[in-house]
Chain A
Amino acid sequence: MADSLLEVTNLDVTYRTKRDSVQAVSNASFSIESNGYFGLVGESGCGKSTLARAVMNSLDTNGEISGGEIRYRGDPIHNLSDREYKNSVRWDEIAFIPQSAMNSLDPLTTVQNQALEIAQAHKDWSNEKTLEKLRELFDIVGLPQSRIADYPHQFSGGMKQRAIIALSLLLDPSLVIADEPTTALDVIMQDQLLKYLDELRQERDFSLLMITHDIAVVFELCDSIAVMHGGQIAETGGITDVFDEPRHPYSILLQRAFPDVRFPDRSLEQIEGTPPPLSGSVDYCTFADRCPWAEPDCRDGAPPLEPVGGDASHLTSCIRSDEMEELAASHLEGRSTGESSVQSIQGSEQ
């Protein structure tokens, strides 16, 4: 593969508590291209946030990368010290939009002072230059320039979200990680925000890694996807590949578990059970207990990520992936793509 912007290979992340250890991420691999839009999807607790923090070198004190690599523009960043990470990559190249803008902005500091502190920590820009950049970014995210000197509590919820996006772009990063950027927002605000983000991405030429539980948003917007379950990457690849030809039971079932407003009569897929607690070492498929097609072999060793049909960009970690098309035929059929049974929702085919 040509030099991807971000490449995660066989990554393990472990949290150690007094009594035992939890393998939050096991053997994760995926890659993000320049100016790409990557969606990392999974339920709560699947490890997606942990993975993002590992990329950001911001794991809690009891967490560590216990295996594998993370490479940015070809160079390893998983084993950098705090200082090295800060000097080479932090915020300058890889930035982060936290889930709750509301709580991430320091309520006792004005937005412009927060921007100044960020710039001072990484660059030797003059204050004037930083503020100029901030004003420009406020403009781009649709906030009045005059408000850069306001305190966070003077902004509404949606405006805080946009302010924090502005802060994330302050140093012109090439990769922006957005952690559940729309959880607290209503449908219309969510739509507005996602539109902004995508336009920004294209205009400013950065890659966006969106972490979310909402697969609908990912299928709509992203060009690549990784589906996570119980710390393992179930499937990853180009968005149309994974959508048209899912090969992991979890991705197959998950797609059908989301209501699609175009087909309100369609019954929803129900996935039994819950993800397992991940203590000790994870040497089994974490979806096995919930999988309708599980076999004893599935619990005998962690399933490796393998290409689907020889396509190295589409990977899945199911040992029965080549049988899935047949086994899950009933779940796969009747998926109309590009159409809508609902008159008011019409789109154009892509």
Chain B
Amino acid sequence: MATELTERENEAAPVMEVRNVEKHFDPSSNVIEKLRARLSPDSRSKIRAVDGVDLTLEKEQVQGVIGESGCGKSTLLLTLIGEHLPSEGELLYKGNPVSEFSKADWKQFRREVQIIFQDPFNAINPHFTVRQTLKEPLRIHNIDQTEERIREVLEQVQLRPAEQYIDRHESELSGGEKQRVAIARALIVDPEVILADEPVSMLDVSTQASVLELLEDLTTEYGASMMYVSHDLSTVSYVCDRVNVMYLGRLVEKAPTKEIINNPKHPYTQALIRAIPIPDPHFEREWTQIKGAVGDAQDLPTGCRFKDRCPERMDICDERPLLRPVDGDGGHEAACHLYYDHEDVVAASATDGHAGVDAE
């Protein structure tokens, strides 16, 4: 259905972009605390789940976001799909800001941007057969609900022969099969962007491989872009072209997958990589040197949020590090004072007449 949005599409623009996006949550729950928060907006009391993230997803690109639990990656994903509206900053789809969307625009957005969730056991309506699960999105978006279309998509997610699966209920499917149905459901409307939230973490290893392969194939076959969120660098590196590393609401490093693994710059990324177990008894890996756990999202330190655990901490780390290119031109950026001179950069952008750099 051609809509205004399609006409306003900017061919050259990335298919999805977030600019300085923030998402805050209010931890207070009762009336009195909410009033108090409104009267004296103290930024400390909010949970800054996503705190100033810039991301650009190009056409047919697969990007990953990795981080540990509590880093905000799931919130980011839900913001990308429009479930959360950003507290600050912008989300742009095909060059158009989502804040200017009409109802028709949103309808198109919801068809073209699909999500696959982490938990296959809870993502599908247990009362539906596979057929009904797949018919639903077709119905919502006014696409012909042909049996053939359903069969086709089931074959594509490797549920063959389709007849065997089409009438089954959720309880008659294994975890891997359920996840494939969830993927089929996302594919059946011919999406432009697929957002995946840890889609294999709840599956057994033997199933993970095939689902990962499937996801990889899909982007090339369908020409869709994908944003893949996970805590597991091993699976992310299998599927993604580029990786973004997230820590407590901020992106600390961005690079092509090979670069991130071969040449991690940020101390957190380095720690993450070093902590991955290697399935080889002949290989003696160094143990992680990082102490402590990921900090509390409500009680954040000023400046770099990793500074309390960082083995390379310096005084300048009390200033929020900027995300800047490091090393070469391979599109590798890191937010770490080890790689640039903060005072120089701040001075330079001030004399250039830019708006004040966001420092804390």
User: Does A312 interact with chain B (Cβ within 8 Å)?
Assistant: no
- The answer to whether A186 and B68 have CB atoms under 8 Å apart is yes
Contacts of A156 in B (CB 8 A): 293
- The answer to whether B280 and A264 have CB atoms under 8 Å apart is no
Query: In the assembled complex, how far is the CB of residue A185 from the closest CB belonging to chain B, in whole angstroms?
Result: 9
State A189–B174 Cα separation when bound (angstroms).
30
State A257–B68 Cα separation when bound (angstroms).
23
State A239–B279 Cα separation when bound (angstroms).
11
Q: A215-B279, A219-B281 are in contact. Are A188 and B272 (CB under 8 A)?
A: yes
Contacts of B286 in A (CB 8 A): 347
State A292–B162 Cα separation when bound (angstroms).
23
Contacts of B210 in A (CB 8 A): 270
State A269–B261 Cα separation when bound (angstroms).
22
State A194–B279 Cα separation when bound (angstroms).
14
Q: A219-B279, A344-B263 are in contact. Are A186 and B233 (CB under 8 A)?
A: no
Contacts of B275 in A (CB 8 A): 187-188, 190-191
- The answer to whether B282 and A338 have CB atoms under 8 Å apart is yes
State A342–B260 Cα separation when bound (angstroms).
10
Say which one of B76-84, B234-242, B313-321 lies at the interface with A: B234-242
- The answer to whether B283 and A186 have CB atoms under 8 Å apart is no
Q: A260-B279, A264-B237 are in contact. Are A343 and B287 (CB under 8 A)?
A: no
Q: In chain B, residues 175-228, which have Cβ atoms closer than 8 Å to a Cβ of chain A?
A: 176, 204-210, 212-213
Query: In the assembled complex, how far is the CB of residue A228 from the closest CB belonging to chain B, in whole angstroms?
Result: 13
SS class, residues of chain A in contact with chain B: loop
Pick from B205, B273, B274: contact of A258, CB below 8 A.
B205
Query: In the assembled complex, how far is the CB of residue A345 from the closest CB belonging to chain B, in whole angstroms?
Result: 6
Residue of B with least CB distance to A338: B282
- The answer to whether B280 and A345 have CB atoms under 8 Å apart is no
User: Does A261 interact with chain B (Cβ within 8 Å)?
Assistant: yes
Q: Fill in one digit per residue for B46-81: 1 if any A CB lies within 8 Å of its CB, else 0.
A: 000000000000000000000011000000000000
Q: In chain B, residues 93-138, which have Cβ atoms closer than 8 Å to a Cβ of chain A?
A: none
User: Does B326 interact with chain A (Cβ within 8 Å)?
Assistant: no
User: Does A93 interact with chain B (Cβ within 8 Å)?
Assistant: no
- The answer to whether B264 and A255 have CB atoms under 8 Å apart is no
- The answer to whether A195 and B273 have CB atoms under 8 Å apart is no
User: Does B244 interact with chain A (Cβ within 8 Å)?
Assistant: no
State A340–B258 Cα separation when bound (angstroms).
13
Q: How large is the interface on B (under 10, 10 to 19, 20 to 34, 35 or more residues)?
A: 35 or more
State A254–B68 Cα separation when bound (angstroms).
26
- The answer to whether A257 and B205 have CB atoms under 8 Å apart is yes
- The answer to whether B278 and A349 have CB atoms under 8 Å apart is no
Counted as pairs of residues, one from A and one from B, with CB atoms less than 8 Å apart, the total is: 154
Contacts of A253 in B (CB 8 A): 206
- The answer to whether B238 and A43 have CB atoms under 8 Å apart is no
Query: In the assembled complex, how far is the CB of residue A348 from the closest CB belonging to chain B, in whole angstroms?
Result: 5
State A42–B270 Cα separation when bound (angstroms).
30
Which of B234, B258, B261, B283 neighbours the largest number of chain A CB atoms within 10 Å of its CB? Answer: B283
- The answer to whether A337 and B279 have CB atoms under 8 Å apart is no
Contacts of A337 in B (CB 8 A): 280, 282-283
Q: A189-B293, A264-B258, A342-B262 are in contact. Are A219 and B209 (CB under 8 A)?
A: no
Contacts of A43 in B (CB 8 A): 204-206
Which of B231, B237, B277, B290 neighbours the largest number of chain A CB atoms within 10 Å of its CB? Answer: B277
Residue of A with least CB distance to B240: A264
Contacts of A85 in B (CB 8 A): none
Query: In the assembled complex, how far is the CB of residue A30 from the closest CB belonging to chain B, in whole angstroms?
Result: 17
State A102–B56 Cα separation when bound (angstroms).
38
- The answer to whether B213 and A270 have CB atoms under 8 Å apart is yes
Pick from B209, B257, B270: contact of A268, CB below 8 A.
B209
Pick from B208, B274, B293: contact of A345, CB below 8 A.
B274
- The answer to whether B231 and A187 have CB atoms under 8 Å apart is yes
Residue of A with least CB distance to B205: A257
User: Does B285 interact with chain A (Cβ within 8 Å)?
Assistant: yes
- The answer to whether A261 and B280 have CB atoms under 8 Å apart is no
Q: A254-B206, A269-B209 are in contact. Are A345 and B284 (CB under 8 A)?
A: no
- The answer to whether B284 and A186 have CB atoms under 8 Å apart is no
User: Does A217 interact with chain B (Cβ within 8 Å)?
Assistant: yes
User: Does A68 interact with chain B (Cβ within 8 Å)?
Assistant: no
Query: In the assembled complex, how far is the CB of residue A281 from the closest CB belonging to chain B, in whole angstroms?
Result: 24
- The answer to whether A260 and B278 have CB atoms under 8 Å apart is yes
- The answer to whether B68 and A188 have CB atoms under 8 Å apart is yes
- The answer to whether A261 and B273 have CB atoms under 8 Å apart is yes
State A196–B256 Cα separation when bound (angstroms).
34
- The answer to whether A350 and B283 have CB atoms under 8 Å apart is yes
Query: In the assembled complex, how far is the CB of residue B68 from the closest CB belonging to chain A, in whole angstroms?
Result: 4
Pick from B212, B264, B280: contact of A219, CB below 8 A.
B280
State A219–B279 Cα separation when bound (angstroms).
5
State A216–B278 Cα separation when bound (angstroms).
6
- The answer to whether A186 and B294 have CB atoms under 8 Å apart is yes
- The answer to whether A220 and B277 have CB atoms under 8 Å apart is yes
- The answer to whether A260 and B290 have CB atoms under 8 Å apart is no
Contacts of A258 in B (CB 8 A): 205, 234, 279
- The answer to whether B272 and A349 have CB atoms under 8 Å apart is no
Pick from A215, A239, A342, A348: contact of B205, CB below 8 A.
A215
Which of B209, B213, B264, B291 neighbours the largest number of chain A CB atoms within 10 Å of its CB? Answer: B209
Q: A269-B209, A344-B262 are in contact. Are A349 and B282 (CB under 8 A)?
A: yes
Pick from B209, B212, B264, B293: contact of A344, CB below 8 A.
B264
Contacts of A135 in B (CB 8 A): none
Q: Fill in one digit per residue for A132-157: 1 if any B CB lies within 8 Å of its CB, else 0.
A: 00000000000000000000000010
User: Does A104 interact with chain B (Cβ within 8 Å)?
Assistant: no
A-B contact pairs, 6 of them (CB 8 A): A186-B294, A187-B68, A257-B206, A261-B261, A262-B280, A264-B261
Q: List the 8 closest pairs (A to B, CB-CB), nearest first.
A: A268-B209, A186-B68, A271-B206, A216-B279, A259-B234, A191-B275, A338-B282, A216-B277
Residues of A within 8 A of B (CB): 43-44, 156, 158, 186-192, 194-195, 213-217, 219-220, 239-240, 243, 253-255, 257-262, 264, 267-271, 274, 337-340, 342-345, 347-350
> What 16 new A-B contacts, CB under 8 Å, besides A268-B213, A350-B282?
A44-B204, A186-B231, A188-B272, A192-B288, A192-B291, A195-B288, A216-B277, A240-B281, A258-B279, A261-B234, A261-B273, A264-B238, A345-B274, A347-B283, A347-B285, A349-B284
